[in-house]
Structure 1
Amino acid sequence: MSEKNLTVVKEFFLLGFQGSEKVRMFLFFLLLVVFSVTICGNLLIIILVSTSKNLQTPMYFFISQLSIGDILLPTDIVPNLLHVLLNNGGPITFICCMVQLYFFCIAEASECLLLTVMSYDRYVAICKPLRYVSIMTGTLCVRLAFTFWLLSFTISLIYIKIILMLEFCGPNIIDHLFCDLVPLQDISCSDTFPIKLQIYLLSIPFVGIPNLIIIVSYINIVRAVLQMQSNVSRQKAFSTCSSHLTVVSIFYISLSSVYILPKRRQTSNANKILSLLYIVFTPLMNPIIYSFRNRDIKKAVQEIISKYLIYCI
């Protein structure tokens, strides 16, 4: 970065939720409980998929990868957010801010790409069931996982490099819960139009293409389901896709409410509450959605409990 673009601000101050102490303490304990349950729930999914023979399938492999991202996102944001709530705001160094933003982008990019891969997996399972085993091999699943994680790290690094082109010469107060792209642009003293344009152009291939793949996959899935003559087959096919479709809907609706809806219709606190949906509550909902009414996961849990009881006895 050239001398002209040297950052003057060395530290930012996150406001968090500015309100009464009772409200902040309520949010503190609520987020602490949700964060703890989220980590435990997603760790349980990872352990079950890794140890249970019944869950050694591509679908559950990708669910375990989703759980890794669901652990990464709140772990990156929530601990510092709890500190901010306790102290009615808190400082964060420029370097820590960029690191937080980097891992936030990794978590969001990985979930976007992973949901795309999972939609393709469901497409193959329903539209090409006889070739599913030969197409979705273990080697392909590992390669896909390596690819979307590598892309997530790379894309996020590009976003950070774009943000580092901004100058921060004051004020250093961020009226948000964490270091995010939009709040950082708002407090920059540089011309943000070129930065916004670069981010927008970068988002077209890395967000538009995955969305297109998901849409095309589900169009073909719906066609295949409608052509099934048996109602039992239709219900089975729908049940295999309903969880994934629910997670996709929650993910994109929550992100769209923050980054796409006009800012004039949102107050600062409303925007912060919407941010909590995908930072804290979406990672909590994902393991619940995938485990709820899932016989395979319930069976794996029962097997672990049985082994534990036998060991204790």
Structure 2
Amino acid sequence: MKHLLKQIVLAVLLSIPALKAAADQFSYVYIQGDKQTPFYVKFEDEMLPRYGKNYCIIPELTPGPIHIQILFQQNVYPAQKFTILVPEGGSRGFLLTRKGESFSLYDIDQQFYLRDGNSESDDRVPEYNNLQISELQASATAENQEQLQPEATNLAANTPATTTTPSTTNQPGNISPAFMDMELNNTRVLENDKTPKSDEDFKGKVAIVNSDCPHAIDNDLFDAIYKKAEGKPESARLKYLLDKTSDNCFTTNQIRILTGTLKNDPERYTFLKKAYSRVTDQSVFPALENLLRSREWKDYFKLILP
């Protein structure tokens, strides 16, 4: 899949004006593993919070080398150490691949491997056009500005009936590591459908009820969760929402409104990935692709779906 081998653009759109000038200095590293190998990431000797078992986002990085360790549940494999060069105002995307008990990071943009214990000289920084990134951010912000505003919460219960998402033919790449086809293609050719789904695409279709979450929370409880999320500092908001999705069921429209309280694509993706299993109307969930700004994060979102 061509576009999954292109650069990953991770835009930080901060709501605090004083921090907007610093936003362009931040970069991100994204690591995706396979479903059978849960892992943790230790960044500069500090364990990062884990929002998903098989992926990690390291946000707000400054340019230069970073040192990470990848650890595994119950120490089923030895800790793996990597040195990654962070670009200025850009991002890196990796797939965690395994051969025996040895692991590597596959750079999905530049198409090469970083081996366990690599040095700085083994890595190379991708060439990014920061002007193009800024233009993409401005364009995406303008297109999504109206949509990303939280609507009146009395709309939360009004979710249209829906249908399941059509699947497409699998087309594995020639260079990708073996598990990449299993994990990322997922019977979908992501570049076949460039148009994000809207609520109109799903109206009038038969909805499939989520047996694990047949009933969504009422509007009063939703209002309370939404208002508390709005009152949380940005650094604590994602964790609060993830905790609430563990205990409650929601409609897709309620999740859409809650997602609007998060300010960047990595956080929104993390929340949406957790929320999918907790919505009553999963067949309308594909419409939430519109909440993500960059094409790469939209593609990752599609992998959430069956």
One fold, TM greater than 0.5?
no
Structure with the greater alpha carbon radius of gyration: 1
When normalised by structure 2's length, the TM-score is: 0.24
Greater fraction of residues in strand: 2
When normalised by structure 1's length, the TM-score is: 0.23
